[in-house]
Chains A and B, each alone.
Chain A
Amino acid sequence: MTHAELQQLIPSAALGALDAAEQLALEQHLSECSECRAEMDALRNVAGLLAWAAPTMTPPNAAALRQRILSEASGTKPLTAPRTLTLDSGRSAEAPTPRSSAPVARPSRSVPSNLPWLAAAASLTLAIASGGAYLNSRSENATLARALERSRVDAQATRTELASRDSVLSAFLGPMVHVVSLSESEQRQPSARIFWNHTKNLFIVTSFNVPQAPKGKTYQLWAMRKGKAPMSMGTFNPDPSGRALALVPVGTIADAGHIDNCAMTLEPEGGSPQPTETPRLMGAWRHVD
């Protein structure tokens, strides 16, 4: 599409009315065109005002809701920087990684939706960096621990959960940790990161803002090598907040060192031998160290 054609998409995008392919095309253009980016920002702000067109209502239990929000907040601390959880070795933390595009399938569905996350998520980037300096300060360490703590824990499974967190945390903290970061440019877009701990030979998969899989479905991760069939890295399902944390033994992936891309698809429960849809999240491994 030309600049002019893409520009025409902006008003619809502001109202969330683009389908996945259109949204993807526009997102890519926005990353390159400051004029359109400025227009998008302006119209997004106009669209934001539309909330006032809905009947402005006070929640029935406004005081309770306020209290709930505030007490939940007092139990957590804001992330000091959005990229704290991303690998940051000091050398490799520069800059938005280049976006790689992936075709995105728009699943058929009966309930109206626009799945904005899906389109936005189509651009993913992966980065690998050496993990020795991953947690280069105590505060980052603490932030990571808090982030992990925020995962919702079933009360009954607390012990198991804590043990598993300890192991995850120690996996993160290993001396040889590589990370694949499927990052996003905007908040609330689904993303996933895959850390590769070479010492423990584990992939640590995290997801954020990934909607829970519908009943009977599960997300499945794929390791891809050029000219080879995708290899399943396992399945996972995020919790209601969109987060997931999963450990995958690297040993299950043949020749893991030569993976070109990773992808995430939605598959029937139990996973599929091969992907049955176009990836929802995808990104290329890129060595940055």
Chain B
Amino acid sequence: MVGFAWYSMGRQARARLMTGVSAFGSPDAEAGLVSRLVAGDERALAVLFDRFGSVAYGLAYAITSDSATAEAVVADVFSQVWREASMFPVGRMTLLAWLTKLVRAGALATRRSMPAAPAFISNSAPGAPGASASGAPTESATATTPPSAGHAESLASSPMVIAAMGALSDGQRQVVELAYFHGLTRKEIATRLQLTESGVAQQLRTAVDALRLTLMPPVRVPQQITLGRA
């Protein structure tokens, strides 16, 4: 299985990034944007696309491995968001979570309908694309950014997530990838990895806990966050 080799980054690089952890958009700002969408303000849709278009496309591409398909998924999702902005659960979900949920679902559905489901390719891994998730974070690894991460927002955000993924154990990272990017259920993951289902469940749980702690720390958590192997 292909992994995200660029998760690997030095502890220092990670620590540097983590000090900058902040919200990915204030709830008020999101609510404001949503109400503009609901009101039919097309500029709000442009703002939304400029903010999340790249990450939406990146996710769709990671799942479908086809740029035209990924673009179609993204176009569909933004159209849906435009039409159904009034259904956005303000205060419960971030816009990013809503968008990516739709993109993931659309991309996985499209992938299923493809004649041959493409292998999942985390195409940006520096080094061999076949480099597996076996590359544990090492001190010597240099921080790398994905290619084409041209948008300032992407640069601001993705390294933190990549770092958080890199801080997971190999096993945790693998189950997270199989679930989120491949759309496999726990049972399917267990079969594929020859693990017990409860083992997979446990891995997913600890992985999500670790990601949550890193990416969405409790408000009153001490400033210093030590990123360790979960």
Contacts and interface: CB of A to CB of B under 8 A. Distances in A.
Contact of B82 (A59, A65, A73): A73
A56 to B, nearest CB: 4
B212 interface: yes
A18 B49 contact: no
A41 interface: yes
Interface in A181-240: 186-188, 211-212, 214
23 contacts: A15-B176, A43-B208, A46-B208, A46-B211, A46-B215, A48-B97, A49-B96, A50-B176, A53-B165, A54-B62, A55-B122, A56-B58, A56-B146, A56-B154, A57-B57, A57-B149, A59-B53, A66-B46, A66-B49, A74-B42, A79-B84, A114-B183, A188-B80
A70 B45 CA distance: 7
A111 B102 CA distance: 20
Interface string A19-60: 100100000000000000000011111111111111111111
Q: Say which size band chain B's interface belongs to.
A: 35 or more
B53 A112 contact: no
Given A12-B179, A47-B97, A54-B181, A76 B61 contact: no
A11 interface: yes
A92 to B, nearest CB: 20
Chain B interface, >50% SS class: helix
Interface string B177-216: 0011111111111000000000011001101110110011
B185 A17 contact: yes
B186 A53 contact: no
Given A17-B179, A62-B54, 8 more contacts: A46-B211, A52-B158, A60-B67, A78-B37, A79-B83, A80-B38, A82-B86, A241-B76
B117 A58 contact: no
A168 interface: no
Contact of B93 (A22, A45, A211): A45
Contacts of A44: 93, 97, 101
Contacts of B150: 58
- In the A-B complex, the 5 residue pairs with the smallest Cβ-Cβ separation, listed nearest first, are A48-B97, A55-B124, A54-B62, A17-B179, A52-B161
B130 interface: no
